Amino acid sequence: MVEPAIAALTDAIKKLGNASSLHSAGRSVRKDLEQAREQIAQAIDCAPSEVIFTATGTEANNLAIKGLYWLGVKKNKKVIITSTFEHHAVADPITWLAEHEGAQVVAIDVDRNGFVDLKQLATRVEEHKNNIALISIMHANNEVGTIQDINQVVKIAGDIPVHSDCVQSFGKVELSFKKLGVTAATISAHKIGGPLGVAALILRKGLDIEPVLHGGGQERDLRSGTFNAPGIISFAAAAANAVDNRKERELKIRELKSELIQTIKKNIPDAWVNGDQVKSLPGIVSITFPKTDSEGLLLLLDGEGIACSTGSACSAGVQRPSHVLMAMGLTEDETTSTLRFSLSYSNTINEIAKLGSVIATVVARSKAASGKK
């Protein structure tokens, strides 16, 4: 967590009171919570009333997707359009709706760089336009970093509701809910240095979707549950910090990213980078090391004090080929030879140099042990 978020969380924890209570302690916490809502709204350029707090990005995605789908069903619309390489927090709720609620799923392909095929999207929208409940396409991919042209998706959609998972991009690149033009967007605290267990759905004002959780109706009757006030207040501090420092940090991280790619290519000539390197997040690098075993490679690098991943952290411990990389055209062998490096403004050139000093050795050891030909 970043220092402003830690400080805000520490101060907020000291305050006793439920933000939904009418007594003075509750009113005091509620005031702080609503100020936090205003801060987050300012950070993402939306109205405060459009910020719906949830426990996680996964919950926010479920609320958006299921809520918009159920709203569409009332109008006899049962088609959901999405892409083939969404995060599991989007893909799995859509699959659940298909299996349990009769949703008809139309998946749009992506190219080798991870861009959604907009021509195919336009064709599918025209084919199903009277039956589409929603379109859900992520703003930036969590494994390869490719940033989609969501404005064009919204243009193609017309009056069809569009949801976009913006968890990876919020606070990392310029992002305005108003300019994006979507119906709903998902953001999360821990991706910007805030605490775990707090997120938000940004939902266009005046739209009442069907809730997933029922109870006290704390958030516009769309999301029930006692407010995690300390988490929300810390989230707001992290959001303000991220937006205020974004340009400077983005520039530094992109320089580190460029250095990392050059270092790896210099030492491992047959390695390649996945995803577009221009329209992409500053801090995510997906690299395939042919004929290696990614899990073994990860452990070898971890032994050298270098942390990376084999894909989404949300799927940690689950040994299966990356559906993201498979959707982009990689073979199963290639997906299991791929690592994802995540960079932040706290990383240094010296750390990149350390990676360069060991990468050739660990890749050679992984190739020897993998048995791949």
For residue 146, what are the β-bridge partners?
280
**314 is an active site residue:** yes
The dihedral built from the CA positions of residue 45, 232, 64 and 315, taken in this order, carries a sign that is positive
Two tokens, residue 156: 């193609």
Per the CB < 8 A criterion, the answer to whether 238 and 193 are in contact is yes
SS3 label, residue 198: coil
Per the CB < 8 A criterion, the answer to whether 228 and 55 are in contact is yes
Per-residue CA distances from 265 to 251, 273, 368 (Å): 21, 9, 20
Two tokens, residue 325: 């990389």
Per the CB < 8 A criterion, the answer to whether 71 and 133 are in contact is yes
Two tokens, residue 351: 């750390």
Tokens 């064709």 correspond to 123
Distance, CA of 230 to CA of 171 (rounded, Å):
20
Q: How many CB atoms lie within 10 A of CB 31?
A: 11
Catalytic residue (choose from 46, 166, 308, 314): 314
Closest CA to 170 of 269, 44, 52: 44
Phi-psi region of 339 (alpha: psi -120 to 50; beta: other; left: phi over 0): beta
Pairing of strands 284-288, 272-274: antiparallel
**88-101 vs 57-73: helix crossing angle, rounded to 10:** 30
List the catalytic residues: 314
